[in-house]
């Protein structure tokens, strides 16, 4: 993965970014993408995310009983350090 950081975003209904966090790219490489979900998915969503969530080409998707859908996506932050 390029860059030294990875940005994670939690997006509600495909439009609204409701949470973001940064992770070291090396940490993601070593530990995988599973545990950062517990950092960004709100505690009140944890059960729904566990039982009805799944990874696809966009990221981790889950939905709540109220009809809201959520996407957790991540992407590398380009290293802007000039050499």
pTM score: 0.85
Q: pLDDT digit string (tens) for 7-53? A: 999 999 999 999 999 999 888 889 888 778 889 999 999 999 999 99
pLDDT at 52: 92
CB neighbour class for 71 (10 Å; exposed up to 12, middle 13-18, buried from 19): middle
Q: pLDDT digit string (tens) for 53-64? A: 999 999 999 999
């Amino acid at each position: 993965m390029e860059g030294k950081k990875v940005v994670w975003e939690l997006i509600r209904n495909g439009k609204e970014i409701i949470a973001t966090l940064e992770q070291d790219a090396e940490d993601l490489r070593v530990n995988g993408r599973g545990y950062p979900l517990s950092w960004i998915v709100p505690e009140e969503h944890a059960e729904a995310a566990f039982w009805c969530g799944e990874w696809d080409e966009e990221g981790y998707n889950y939905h709540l009983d109220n009809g809201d859908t959520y996407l957790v996506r991540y992407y590398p932050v380009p290293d802007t350090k000039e050499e």
